[in-house]
């Protein structure tokens, strides 16, 4: 796996992206410390996400550390139940707030 500084990465971006495309990830460093890893997208990122169910996609995002599950699951929105309001409720509330 190649390591490259920020300045060199910017100067030769096309070269490093070709390297990533061929399957070799690149570590980007700032003053010797790794700050980013550039790699080819996973199959989920390539469009397969549309084929996966919502629960599977959420589980994958949680596993990758992108999402964090709700700390308290006793909230209605944490259990997937939505509050449904009558059509036009938002408009009436906004009109009342604005004094219209």
User: What confidence tens digit (pLDDT) does each residue in 52-71 have?
Assistant: 677 787 888 888 888 888 77
Q: Which pair of structure tokens corresponds to residue 49?
A: 């996400």
**Unique residue bearing structure tokens 């992108």:** 66
Identify each DSSP E strand in 1-100 by its residue range.
2-5, 26-30, 33-38
User: What confidence tens digit (pLDDT) does each residue in 19-65 have?
Assistant: 998 889 999 999 999 999 999 877 555 555 555 677 787 888 888 88
Structural domains of the chain sorted by starting position, each given as residue range(s) with its CATH number in brackets: 1-40 (3.40.1620.10)
Question: What percent of the chain stands above pLDDT 70?
Answer: 77
Q: Which H or E run includes 13?
A: helix 13-21
Mean pLDDT across the chain = 82
The per-residue pLDDT for 67 is 85
Contact 28, 38 (CB under 8 A): yes
Q: Which H or E run includes 50?
A: none
Q: Which H or E run includes 20?
A: helix 13-21
The per-residue pLDDT for 4 is 94
Bridge partners of 34? 29
Q: Which residues lie below 8 Å from residue 6, measured CB to CB, with a gap of 6+?
A: 28, 29, 30, 35
In the predicted model, is pLDDT for residue 15 greater than 90?
yes
């Amino acid at each position: 796996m190649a390591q490259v500084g920020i300045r060199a990465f910017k100067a030769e971006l096309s070269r490093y992206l070709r390297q990533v495309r061929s399957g070799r990830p690149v570590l980007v460093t700032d003053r010797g410390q790794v700050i980013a890893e550039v790699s080819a997208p996973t199959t989920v990122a390539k469009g397969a996400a549309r084929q996966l169910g919502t629960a599977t996609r959420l589980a994958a995002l949680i596993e990758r550390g992108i999402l964090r599950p709700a700390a308290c699951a006793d909230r209605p929105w944490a259990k997937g139940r939505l509050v449904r309001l009558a059509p036009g409720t938002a408009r009436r509330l906004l009109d009342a707030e604005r004094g219209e």
